[in-house]
């Protein structure tokens, strides 16, 4: 190529051309603008100051994590541990300040030191241990998550109030997380652009051997790069925890992938050597705008994930295509080929716009303006039949009563739920039903709703430190006692059992475990061989039970904190289930009840999830019409066995 | 004008890239049974032209005729159908498959849907025999050296029944022995009626192998001459001016020893290597590829460890395996693999020039970007780097200009001992002379230069002393006056005083470009 002998001279022709050039040069920015335009066209609630600040707050944690990951990706590495390190740092802060009385300033330093330490370990394993970054940070992902569970003993720890202000607003309107995001972004841009370590990142990522032979101390730089990523992860963890007023051991689970996506959408290459802080910010904003917009448009929770995936792919595709079109200069004289490619880029942009607009307007379920009251239902997860039944009960009732019901799925992530609640509040829903991922973590969002005079009903799990109009729940502790009693009596008061616990850190797991313990006190002849968590998950129930069977082949009874785990345990027990081993589950899901019918599951402590959903909607409607509602509505639980299963329906 | 022997004809081809005219009204033709050399400086447009024939690019204007009929080549399939095969400098082979599998990749003979290994290997053996290379069809490609890889590529081209074989600088990475072998194969193919397009920078190869020469300059074909044309004339056509002297060495008075290496040994790689380089001196290091020259200079620079021996710069010993200490003492290395080790290809000229001095330009963690830019601009002007601007990506520079950038970063660091490893490989004549001038300026200013080169005329023309290495040892040292091609080669192939305990290969073969 004779590129060097014929320098291309590109003339910028006026302001319009400059803008066009800026957009063509930055596929991610174009994608963001397309999204914002599409969202504002589709939802009147989108383009308000309040909501845009919401988007900022919701982008903040991902963006701060992603800034740190940008350093690593620019230097041709990868950091999968940032989500876990964020949770660990926040946990260290809360644990030292709240539980051990360490002054908050020092606790903050400890949190940052935790991030640095985790990063240094990553860097050491990669630079000196010659581990691939993927593996080293994958190991750290697990270690940091485990340590934060160990330190917190699986329960969220309240965050010191003085630090929690980081989750508030400044002057009543400017959210502090947005401010922190901007400051961290400026720091990241400064580090990348001006400092020795920043320039080294590009050189190392571009060609590590050339960098080494030019005298860069590559190993030391890598230590520092991963340590920097750790610092940013710690900052993100503190912001996340202060938004929720509590340090959650399970917080920021899976955020590393969001962060990596943000960096790549922002134009960095996973091969290293390219990437900018501004691009990363745009990437994080694209993700936040999408989540926010899809909430506002009441797109079904399941479809949201599909749409997000498609938009990530399209955003990067747009950027790749733009690059492939080369440095296609806007100036004329590039010849026909250049024009064609430019047209292709525009064409693709148009297709993306149409696709996004089309898909979202198709998917958002007719929330056309109507006089019907609008109620938002924020569920902790839809990855579990129990909550799906709450949803269907609520939907049926809403249809009957003429209510527009929007359901969101937080995927067991407290901060995503905070975002969804915030979106309900800012787009003026008449009432909110919340099924908290975590009772402490939901408090800030519920307070905000209270302030906006929106009635809030909690379902299944309560909300701590904030006022809800009603709690619709079955009693987990009482249910746990019931489960313990059922199994003990079936075994005749003596026998060996194991307990499968729910996901560490959730209130349901804690309360049910407490119930089991209380119930078993009355039966000294029952010996508990082991208690292990299986995360409310059927597959994990199967694995954990198989493992326990190796150690305790003589087990006679199993108490599982939900039916899913009980069904997994039954699979592991095989022919023993229902014969020599009695399994008791919890929840009374359709699958669980079927197993009771077949005799493999001895009993299930049945909640009535569709009743929970139904009653929650009833109460929400009552509350928004100003009628009085009971503070707690207990939906009865009952033990379902083969004898009474026929007559029972959730 | 249609000729029965004519395989290919290109008329008035034009190709533009954004902002650049790569080719403009280029004419070229190829007959059966001839070697047609394509000659031109780096960046003249040779690669663009052959990519047009292999279907990687499409012309904007002009036409391509094959066997007298106009054809369109829109992809690799089209060129394969027309019997055109291309052997690039970077080979298209899958390292973990066998030789036979690579030759028949995608076209493996099948029986009942299962690959018929026996037949495939038998057919591969026939092809390899025809090429005249002694390699098992079952050998893994990863285990082969560069010369044999090239032979496998040629066998692959033959298996496609290629009538046109395009070879892009096939001799650039071969030792002279291997080059002779390659020439024998090419001559045999020529006798079989294959038309060969041959790209090379080595003018002496043209007379040895070629029939006709087409010279391309700045994207235009400037002439077609017989291969017997004198070298001076070829250079004049190629560069557009005549080059007075190919090796303009101006000797300086040697001063005190700057670099002294004594008894340097890495077991199994190089043994007891001792030499010194004085201020103002150019010491050339000759030898066959694989003689351990690159390994020695990398060890001297601290890039790799060594087991025994000492390295002193201006009398002070250097710690082992410490690039930064070597740099601090004033050593700089221009590595053999320019793209893989010398440059950060996706970064700008400015960034690359500033790489070595970045640490020194840092105050309190902040890089003095303004100072770096000024220094880069100064050195780029001094070296005459031809570029659109300091912000241009080095990837898009021509080879000669890339090499100037690599040398430039060491000049900025006030290097006292510059080690050049194959400094002009793949670089055209004009840029070569500019690099030699630079060497002159350096030695005139009192620096010492240690230069590895497999290009014998270059070693002889530019060195004040020649060090010859053979099988990991210094086989001898010749002052410039006594250094002739014969004397150097005699030493290079000489058996070492103590034979190596573990002979690696019977054939001396180039490593894979490292």
Res A7: pLDDT: 38
Asked whether the predicted pLDDT for residue B293 surpasses 80, the reply is yes
Please, which residues 247-276 of chain A have a Cβ atom closer than 8 Å to chain B?
Answer: 273-274
Report chain B's mean pLDDT, rounded to a whole number: 86
Q: List, in order, residues 6 or more apart from B192 with CB less than 8 Å away.
A: B33
Res A135: pLDDT: 96
Asked whether the predicted pLDDT for residue A44 surpasses 60, the reply is yes
Of A19-33, A443-457, A635-649, the least confident: A19-33
For residues B448 and B331, give the distance between their C-alpha atoms in angstroms, rounded to a whole number: 9
Both structure tokens of B368: 């003095």
Res A5: pLDDT: 38
Asked whether the predicted pLDDT for residue A6 surpasses 50, the reply is no
Check CB contact under 8 Å for A2 and B47: no
Res B67: pLDDT: 83
For residues B425 and B431, give the distance between their C-alpha atoms in angstroms, rounded to a whole number: 11
Res A130: pLDDT: 94
Asked whether the predicted pLDDT for residue A586 surpasses 70, the reply is yes
The tokens 């023993």 sit on which residue?
A: A576
For residues B52 and B273, give the distance between their C-alpha atoms in angstroms, rounded to a whole number: 48
Q: Quick check: helix, strand or coil at residue B455?
A: coil
Beta strands (DSSP E) in A279-368 are: none
Contact yes or no for A84/A141 (Cβ under 8 A)? yes
Both structure tokens of B167: 């070879």
For residues B447 and B458, give the distance between their C-alpha atoms in angstroms, rounded to a whole number: 20
Asked whether the predicted pLDDT for residue B36 surpasses 70, the reply is yes
Q: What is the per-residue DSSP string for B180-239?
A: HHHHHHHHHHHHTT-EEEEE-S-HHHHHHH-SEEEEEETTEEEEEEETTS-HHHHHHHHH
Res A113: pLDDT: 97
A152 CB burial (10 A radius; 0-12, 13-18, 19+): buried
Res A367: pLDDT: 47
Asked whether the predicted pLDDT for residue A330 surpasses 50, the reply is no
Q: Give Cα A444 to chain centroid, integer Å.
A: 17
Of A194-198, A215-219, A304-308, A373-377, the least confident: A304-308
For residues A417 and A404, give the distance between their C-alpha atoms in angstroms, rounded to a whole number: 20
For the segment B258-266, the average pLDDT, to the nearest whole number, is 94
Write the Ramachandran bin of B66: left for phi over 0, alpha for psi from -120 to 50, otherwise beta. Answer: beta
Q: In what order do the strands lie in the sheet with A603-606?
A: A526-533, A495-501, A557-560, A582-587, A603-606, A638-641
For the segment A247-267, the average pLDDT, to the nearest whole number, is 90
Number of other residues whose CB lies within 10 A of the CB of residue A66: 36
Tens-digit pLDDT profile for residues B155-212: 888 888 888 999 988 887 777 778 888 898 899 889 988 999 999 878 888 888 999 9
Between B191 and B218, the higher pLDDT residue: B191
Contact yes or no for B383/B438 (Cβ under 8 A)? yes
Q: List, in order, residues 6 or more apart from B381 with CB less than 8 Å away.
A: none
Q: Give Cα A310 to chain centroid, integer Å.
A: 19
Asked whether the predicted pLDDT for residue A485 surpasses 80, the reply is yes
pLDDT band at residue B496 using 50, 70 and 90 as cut-offs: low
Phi then psi for residue B157, to 5 deg, are -60, -40
pLDDT band at residue B493 using 50, 70 and 90 as cut-offs: confident
Q: Provide the b/e sequence for A12-48 (b: ≥16 CB within 10 Å).
A: eeeeeeeebbebbebbbbbbbebbbebbeebbebbee
Res B379: pLDDT: 92
DSSP state of A20: H
Q: Give Cα B486 to chain centroid, integer Å.
A: 23
The interface predicted TM-score of the complex, written ipTM, equals 0.72
Number of other residues whose CB lies within 10 A of the CB of residue A299: 24
Taking only Cα atoms into account, the Rg of chain B, rounded to an integer number of angstroms, comes to: 24
Q: What is the dihedral of CA B125, B131, B135, B139, to 10 degrees?
A: -70
Asked whether the predicted pLDDT for residue B59 surpasses 90, the reply is no
Q: Within an 8 Å CB–CB cutoff, is residue A216 touching chain B?
A: yes
Q: What whole-number percentage of chain B has pLDDT above 90?
A: 37
- Closest by Cβ to A5, choosing from B218, B335, B358: B218
Please give the residue of chain A at the shortest CA–CA distance from B346. Answer: A206
Asked whether the predicted pLDDT for residue B501 surpasses 60, the reply is no
Q: Within an 8 Å CB–CB cutoff, is residue B491 touching chain A?
A: no
Pairing of strands B417-421, B331-334: parallel
Contact yes or no for A375/A345 (Cβ under 8 A)? no
Check CB contact under 8 Å for A213 and B358: no
Asked whether the predicted pLDDT for residue A97 surpasses 80, the reply is yes
For residues A330 and A319, give the distance between their C-alpha atoms in angstroms, rounded to a whole number: 17
Q: What is the pTM of this model?
A: 0.75
For the segment B213-224, the average pLDDT, to the nearest whole number, is 88
Res B298: pLDDT: 94
Asked whether the predicted pLDDT for residue A338 surpasses 50, the reply is no
Res A413: pLDDT: 86
Between B399 and A469, the higher pLDDT residue: A469
Please give the residue of chain A at the shortest CA–CA distance from B301. Answer: A213
pLDDT band at residue A331 using 50, 70 and 90 as cut-offs: very low
Q: Within an 8 Å CB–CB cutoff, is residue A210 touching chain B?
A: yes
Asked whether the predicted pLDDT for residue B90 surpasses 80, the reply is no
Res A464: pLDDT: 82
Please give the residue of chain A at the shortest CA–CA distance from B356. Answer: A214
Res B218: pLDDT: 80
Tally the C-alpha atoms within 13 A of residue B68's C-alpha that lie toward its C-beta. 6
Contact yes or no for A584/A563 (Cβ under 8 A)? no
Please, which residues 323-382 of chain B have a Cβ atom closer than 8 Å to chain A?
Answer: 323-324, 327, 333, 335, 340-347, 351, 355-356, 358-359, 362, 365-367, 369
Between A462 and A277, the higher pLDDT residue: A277
Both structure tokens of B160: 């496609």
B64 CB burial (10 A radius; 0-12, 13-18, 19+): buried
Both structure tokens of A162: 């003085």
For residues A578 and A141, give the distance between their C-alpha atoms in angstroms, rounded to a whole number: 39
CA distances A373 to A15, A157, A376, A612, B421, Å, are: 47, 37, 10, 20, 78
Asked whether the predicted pLDDT for residue B213 surpasses 90, the reply is yes
Tally the C-alpha atoms within 13 A of residue A316's C-alpha that lie toward its C-beta. 16
Highest mean pLDDT among A234-238, A319-323, A462-466: A234-238
Res B54: pLDDT: 86
Asked whether the predicted pLDDT for residue A343 surpasses 70, the reply is no
For the segment A540-568, the average pLDDT, to the nearest whole number, is 90
Tens-digit pLDDT profile for residues A49-60: 888 888 898 899
- Closest by Cβ to A6, choosing from B21, B48, B369: B21
Res A174: pLDDT: 86
Highest mean pLDDT among A1-10, A216-225, A606-615, B417-426: A216-225
Contact yes or no for B390/B376 (Cβ under 8 A)? yes
Q: List, in order, residues 6 or more apart from B55 with CB less than 8 Å away.
A: B73, B74, B75, B76, B77, B78, B79
Q: Within an 8 Å CB–CB cutoff, is residue A214 touching chain B?
A: yes
Q: Within an 8 Å CB–CB cutoff, is residue B387 touching chain A?
A: yes
Tens-digit pLDDT profile for residues A172-189: 788 899 999 999 999 999
Q: Within an 8 Å CB–CB cutoff, is residue A10 touching chain B?
A: yes
Contact yes or no for A592/A567 (Cβ under 8 A)? yes
Q: What is the per-residue DSSP string for B328-360?
A: HTTEEEE-S-IIIII--TTSBHHHHHTTTTTTT
Domains, chain B, in order of start with CATH, read 6-239 (3.40.50.300), 243-330+415-514 (3.40.50.300), 346-410 (no CATH)
Q: Provide the b/e sequence for B255-264 (b: ≥16 CB within 10 Å).
A: eebbbbbeeb
Q: Quick check: helix, strand or coil at residue B114?
A: strand
Between B367 and A311, the higher pLDDT residue: B367
Q: Within an 8 Å CB–CB cutoff, is residue A139 touching chain B?
A: no
- Closest by Cβ to A203, choosing from B303, B355, B392: B355
DSSP state of B141: G
Between A209 and A166, the higher pLDDT residue: A209
Of A51-60, A269-278, A292-301, B78-87, the least confident: A292-301
Res A251: pLDDT: 84
Res A520: pLDDT: 93
For residues A605 and A584, give the distance between their C-alpha atoms in angstroms, rounded to a whole number: 8
Of A62-66, B151-155, B259-263, the least confident: B151-155
Of A312-326, A499-513, B354-368, the least confident: A312-326
Q: Within an 8 Å CB–CB cutoff, is residue A25 touching chain B?
A: no
Residues comprising chain A, all counted:
650
Report chain A's mean pLDDT, rounded to a whole number: 85
């Amino acid at each position: 190529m004779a590129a060097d002998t014929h320098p291309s001279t590109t003339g910028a022709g006026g302001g319009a051309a400059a803008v066009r050039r800026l957009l063509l040069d930055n596929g991610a920015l174009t994608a963001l603008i397309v999204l914002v335009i599409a969202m504002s066209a589709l939802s009147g609630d989108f383009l308000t100051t309040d909501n845009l600040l919401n988007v900022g707050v919701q982008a903040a944690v991902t963006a701060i994590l992603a800034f740190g990951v940008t350093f690593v990706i620019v230097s041709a590495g990868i950091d999968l541990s940032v989500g876990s390190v964020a949770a660990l740092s926040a946990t260290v802060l809360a644990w030292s300040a709240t539980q051990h009385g360490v002054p908050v300033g020092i606790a903050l330093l400890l949190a940052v030191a935790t991030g640095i330490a985790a990063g240094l370990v990553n860097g050491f394993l990669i630079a000196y241990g010659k581990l691939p970054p993927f593996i080293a940070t994958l190991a750290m992902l697990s270690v940091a998550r485990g340590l934060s569970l160990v330190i917190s003993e699986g329960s969220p720890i309240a965050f010191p109030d003085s630090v929690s202000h980081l989750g508030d607003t400044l002057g009543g309107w400017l959210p502090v997380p947005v401010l922190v995001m901007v400051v961290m972004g400026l720091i990241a841009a400064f580090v990348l652009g001006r400092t020795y370590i920043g320039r080294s990142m590009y050189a190392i990522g571009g060609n590590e051997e050339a960098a080494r032979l030019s005298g860069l101390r590559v190993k030391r730089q890598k230590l520092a790069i991963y340590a920097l990523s750790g610092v940013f992860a710690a900052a993100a963890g503190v912001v996340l925890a202060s938004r929720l007023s509590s340090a959650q051991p399970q917080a920021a689970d899976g955020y590393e992938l969001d962060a990596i996506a943000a960096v790549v959408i922002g134009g960095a290459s996973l091969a290293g050597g390219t990437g900018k802080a501004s691009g990363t910010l745009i990437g994080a904003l694209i993700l936040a705008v999408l989540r926010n917009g899809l909430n506002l448009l009441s797109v079904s929770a399941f479809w949201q994930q599909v749409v997000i995936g498609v938009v990530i792919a399209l955003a990067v595709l747009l950027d790749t295509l733009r690059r492939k079109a080369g440095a296609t200069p806007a100036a004329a004289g590039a010849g026909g080929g250049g024009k064609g490619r430019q047209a292709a880029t525009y064409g693709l942009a148009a297709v993306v716009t149409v696709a996004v607009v089309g898909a979202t307007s198709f998917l958002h379920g007719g929330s056309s303006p109507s006089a019907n009251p609008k109620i938002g239902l924020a569920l902790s997860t839809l990855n579990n039949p129990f909550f799906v039944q709450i949803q269907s009960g609520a939907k049926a009732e809403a249809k009957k009563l003429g209510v527009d019901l929007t359901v969101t799925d937080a995927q067991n992530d407290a901060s995503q739920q905070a975002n969804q609640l915030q979106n309900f509040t800012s787009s003026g829903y008449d009432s909110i039903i919340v099924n908290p991922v975590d009772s402490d973590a939901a408090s800030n969002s519920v307070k905000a709703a209270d302030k906006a005079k929106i009635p809030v009903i909690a379902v299944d799990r309560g909300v701590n430190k904030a006022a809800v109009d009603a709690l619709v729940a079955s009693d987990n502790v009482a249910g746990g006692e019931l489960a313990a009693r059922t199994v003990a009596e079936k075994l005749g008061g003596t026998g060996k059992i194991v307990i499968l616990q729910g996901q560490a850190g959730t209130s349901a797991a804690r309360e049910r475990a407490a119930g089991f313990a209380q119930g078993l006190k009355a039966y000294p002849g029952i010996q508990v061989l082991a208690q292990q968590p299986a995360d409310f998950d059927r597959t994990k129930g199967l694995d954990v039970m198989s493992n326990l069977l190796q150690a305790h082949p003589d087990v006679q009874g199993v108490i599982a904190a939900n039916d899913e785990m009980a069904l997994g345990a039954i699979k592991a027990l095989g022919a023993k289930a229902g014969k020599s081993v009695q399994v008791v589950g919890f929840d009374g899901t359709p699958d669980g009840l079927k197993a009771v019918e077949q005799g493999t599951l001895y009993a299930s402590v049945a909640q009535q999830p569709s009743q929970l959903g139904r009653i929650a909607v009833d109460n929400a409607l009552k509350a928004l019409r100003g009628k009085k509602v009971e503070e707690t509505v207990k939906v009865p639980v009952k033990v379902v066995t083969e004898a009474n299963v026929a007559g029972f329906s959730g | 004008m249609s000729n029965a022997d004519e395989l290919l004809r290109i008329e008035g081809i034009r190709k533009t890239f954004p902002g650049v005219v790569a080719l403009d009204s280029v004419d070229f033709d190829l007959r059966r049974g001839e070697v047609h050399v394509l000659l031109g400086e780096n960046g003249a447009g040779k690669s663009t032209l052959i990519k047009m024939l292999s279907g990687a690019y499409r012309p904007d204007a002009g036409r391509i005729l094959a066997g007298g009929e106009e054809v369109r080549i829109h992809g690799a399939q089209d060129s394969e159908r027309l019997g055109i095969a291309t052997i690039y400098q970077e080979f298209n082979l899958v390292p973990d498959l066998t030789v036979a599998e690579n030759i028949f990749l995608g076209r493996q003979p099948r029986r009942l849907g299962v690959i018929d290994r026996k037949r495939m290997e038998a057919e591969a053996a026939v092809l390899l025999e025809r090429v005249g290379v002694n390699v098992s069809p079952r050998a893994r490609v990863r285990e082969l050296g560069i010369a044999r890889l090239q032979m496998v590529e040629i066998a692959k081209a033959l298996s496609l029944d290629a009538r046109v074989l395009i070879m892009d600088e096939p001799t650039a990475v071969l030792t002279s022995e291997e080059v002779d072998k390659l020439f024998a194969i090419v001559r045999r193919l020529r006798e079989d009626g294959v038309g060969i397009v041959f790209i090379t920078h080595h003018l002496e190869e043209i007379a040895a192998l070629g029939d006709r020469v087409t010279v391309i300059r700045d994207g235009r074909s400037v002439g077609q001459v017989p291969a017997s044309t004198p070298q001076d004339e070829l250079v004049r056509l190629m560069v557009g001016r005549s080059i007075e002297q190919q090796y303009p060495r101006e000797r300086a008075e040697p001063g005190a020893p700057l670099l002294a290496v004594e008894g340097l040994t890495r077991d199994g790689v190089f043994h007891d290597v001792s030499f010194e380089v004085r201020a103002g001196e150019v010491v050339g290091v000759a030898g066959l590829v694989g003689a351990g020259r690159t390994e020695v200079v990398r060890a001297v620079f601290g890039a790799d460890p060594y087991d025994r021996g000492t390295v002193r710069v201006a009398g002070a010993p250097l710690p082992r395996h410490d690039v930064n200490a070597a740099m601090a003492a004033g050593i700089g290395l221009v590595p053999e693999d320019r793209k893989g080790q010398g440059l950060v290809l996706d970064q700008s000229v400015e960034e690359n020039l500033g790489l070595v001095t970045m640490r020194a330009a840092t105050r309190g963690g902040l890089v003095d970007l303004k100072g770096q830019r000024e220094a880069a601009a100064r050195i780029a002007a001094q070296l005459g780097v031809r570029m659109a601007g300091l912000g241009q990506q080095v990837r898009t520079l021509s080879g000669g200009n890339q090499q100037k950038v690599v040398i430039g970063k060491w000049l900025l660091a006030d290097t006292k001992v510059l080690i050049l490893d194959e400094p002009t490989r793949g670089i055209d004549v004009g840029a070569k002379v500019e690099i030699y001038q630079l060497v002159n300026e350096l030695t005139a200013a009192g620096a010492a230069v240690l230069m590895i080169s497999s290009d014998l005329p270059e070693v002889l023309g530019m060195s004040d002393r020649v060090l010859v290495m053979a099988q990991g040892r210094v086989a001898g040292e010749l002052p410039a006056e006594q250094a002739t091609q014969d004397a150097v080669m005699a030493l290079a192939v000489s058996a070492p005083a103590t034979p190596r305990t573990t002979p690696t290969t019977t054939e001396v073969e180039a490593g894979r470009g490292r």
